[in-house]
Amino acid sequence: MHSTDSADAPRKSAVVADDTARSRDASRPGRLQGALFQSIGDAGRAELVERRLASAITGGHLRAGERLPSENDLARSFGVAPTTVRESLLALRSQGLVVTRRGRNGGSFVADSADPVAHARTALAATSRVALRDLGAHYAAITAACVRLAARRAVPSEVQQVRSRLSRLDESDLEQWRSTLDDAQIELVALSQSARLTREQMRLQAEMSPMLRLIDVDETSRRAQPVLLASVVDAVEAGDDHEAVAATERMVDAVINALIDLQSQSR
Amino acid sequence: MTTATSTSTAARAAAIVSQYFSAPIASLEATATQLGTELAAYGNLGPLSSQQLDALVEPHALATVSLPDVHIYGAGFIAAVGLLTDERNHLSWWQGDDPKRLLLAAQSVNKEHIDYSELEWFRVPMETGRGHVAGPYVDYLCSDEYTITIAAPVHIDGTFVGVAGLDLLIDSVERQLLPKLAELGDKVTLVNSVGRVVISTDARHATGDAVRAGALAELARTACEGVALEIIAE
């Protein structure tokens, strides 16, 4: 798994608490304030851009061979200077994630050797069982909150759109199959009408999706997933928020158990 | 409150809503027509790349997002699959307070591979050949916010080539439109065509809720001219 915020974690305290100067405030809770003034870390902006792009590549969201936007477009989009983008691309090149071609059709491309499934296999092997269960708990909590709202708020025609997306799942292309299932999941949770919850779900989906590809190759596990999601969709359409939550928990349990099984087989 | 009062309140509220949306819709329709003409001229010169498309769309998009009085979050053109030589899907889209072209952010799900032909703001103008107001909905493709998207189809010689659109954040609609509706004094709720609350002067009616289950379900709705939204006055 590719954590994006480890460099933002506090490394040292920039503000040394002075107990005498703050004695008047001693009765106030100081915990939040302490966190506020902690160092934001000295990771450079180039490193942040590099990590963002690296996790998109290893997560399969930028695919092998895909052209990256131009340095200027990336700079504008990330809100950094073009030299910062150049520096991060240099680092990505040295990691073998990006190649740069010169000439008229030149530019930066995701390296052909960047294989998200291989990265996912490494990431799964390196993840503890407790971390996987916790990821499942987080995912289930967010999804459950979304479908509970969706069951109260969605109209039948919207739910029908999710169902029609599910009906287009095509097992002849597993990459496309995963992408369609991810889209259906996001489309369903967006019916909560909550932008915050949907964004959180997308973040989690992006984190899980590469690992889910590892279990998609197993026919039993693959066939089970759309059926489990369809039962959540049914409950949302019926306006049954309790059943939508219960069905979500069954779905996430099945997926996490499959990941744990796969992990124990390969150990 | 008498029925007559709520009728006239509803009519006044509907007029306020129509007025609010009229400039963005007019700007969008002008963009759709002009883009059709400009794209047709390009078509005669040969195949079109995404860069060439962006150069055509940018001035229209920037003009739309800088309209006065209504805070427009994003605007642009979404090409139909197959229009461009170098990309299957392309969003030529500018958004934000300092509008930047949207590069599909990589921190989320495969955004660049989302099939938008199924999304309401693309599908309805494509199928009906007419402009459409979609939402409020969580726009997980462009704004990542709770959004209304107004979209109009673009045609070259009668062939559908994509959709010109603009995004209004519900946050802005609430800030700009709610005070005007509140001045009417009565409880007024704006709902969309599927009966979802957009904004309400009655704080108990939450944005995003469906009116089907609540006290509003039985009340008369007054259409807002020129935009597919309705007013319920209590």
Token couple for B59: 């001035």
Q: Which of A21-35, A232-246, B202-216 has the highest mean pLDDT?
A: A232-246
Instruction: Check CB contact under 8 Å for B207 and A193.
Output: yes
Residue A152 has pLDDT above 80, yes or no: yes
Mean pLDDT on A248-252: 98
Residue B212 with chain A: CB contacts under 8 Å: 155
pLDDT one-digit tens code per residue, A17-44: 444 444 455 555 555 555 555 554 445 7
Closest CB to A73 among B101, B107, B113: B101
For this complex, say whether ipTM is above 0.90.
Answer: no
Average pLDDT over chain A, rounded to an integer: 84
pLDDT one-digit tens code per residue, A178-237: 988 998 999 999 999 999 999 999 989 988 988 999 999 999 999 999 999 999 999 999
Average pLDDT over chain B, rounded to an integer: 89
Residue A62 with chain B: CB contacts under 8 Å: 106
Tell me where in chain A the CATH 1.10.10.10 domain(s) lie.
42-114
The answer as to CATH 1.10.10.10 being correct for domain A42-114 is yes
Instruction: Check CB contact under 8 Å for A205 and B103.
Output: no
Buried b (16+ CB within 10 A) or exposed e, B222-233: bebeebebbbbb
Residue A27 Cα distances to A21, A32, A146, A209, angstroms: 13, 13, 39, 47
Region of residue A97 (left: phi > 0; alpha: psi -120 to 50; beta: else) = alpha
Q: Whose structure tokens read 């150990």?
A: A267
The DSSP code for A172 is T
> Considering only CA atoms, which of B153, B165, B167 is closest in space to residue B33?
B153
CA B74/CA B164 separation, integer angstroms: 11
> Considering only CA atoms, which of A63, A58, A105 is closest in space to residue A207?
A58
Taking CA atoms, what residue in A is nearest to B143? A195
Residues above pLDDT 70, as percent of chain B? 91
Residue B7 has pLDDT above 80, yes or no: no
Largest CA distance in chain B: 64
> Considering only CA atoms, which of B101, B106, B84 is closest in space to residue A114?
B106
Token couple for B157: 């010689």
CA B178/CA A31 separation, integer angstroms: 38
Mean pLDDT on A65-91: 86
Taking CA atoms, what residue in B is nearest to A149? B209
Mean pLDDT on B117-138: 92
- Count of C-beta atoms within a 10 Å radius of residue B128: 10
What is the amino acid identity at position B161? V
Token couple for A19: 């107990």
CA A239/CA A147 separation, integer angstroms: 10
Residue B118 Cα distances to A121, A165, B127, B226, angstroms: 33, 8, 11, 25
Minimal CA separation from A252 to chain B, in Å: 18
Any alpha helices (H) in chain B, and if so which ranges? 3-43, 50-65, 120-128, 170-182
Say how many Å lie between the first and final Cα of chain B, rounded. 8
> Considering only CA atoms, which of A231, A215, A222 is closest in space to residue A169?
A222
Minimal CA separation from B104 to chain A, in Å: 9
Residue B100 with chain A: CB contacts under 8 Å: 76-77
CA B211/CA B192 separation, integer angstroms: 10
Nearby residues of B38 by Cβ (< 8 Å), 6 or more positions away: B56
Residue A2 has pLDDT above 50, yes or no: no
Mean pLDDT on A96-104: 87
| pLDDT value of position A34 | 54
Residue B208 with chain A: CB contacts under 8 Å: 149, 153, 193-194
Residue B186 has pLDDT above 50, yes or no: yes
CA A217/CA A210 separation, integer angstroms: 12
Mutating which of B73, B138, B211 best tests the A interface, going by the most A Cβ atoms within 10 A?
Answer: B138
CATH number of A117-265: 1.20.120.530
Residue A56 with chain B: CB contacts under 8 Å: 106-107
Instruction: Check CB contact under 8 Å for A61 and B108.
Output: yes
Tell me where in chain A the CATH 1.20.120.530 domain(s) lie.
117-265
The DSSP code for B75 is E
What's the pLDDT band for B119 if we cut at 50, 70, 90?
Answer: confident
In order of their start, the domains of chain B are 17-171 (3.30.450.20)
Question: Are B150 and B142 a contacting pair, CB within 8 Å?
Answer: no
Residue B136 with chain A: CB contacts under 8 Å: 193
Q: Which of A56-70, B28-42, B104-118 has the highest mean pLDDT?
A: B28-42
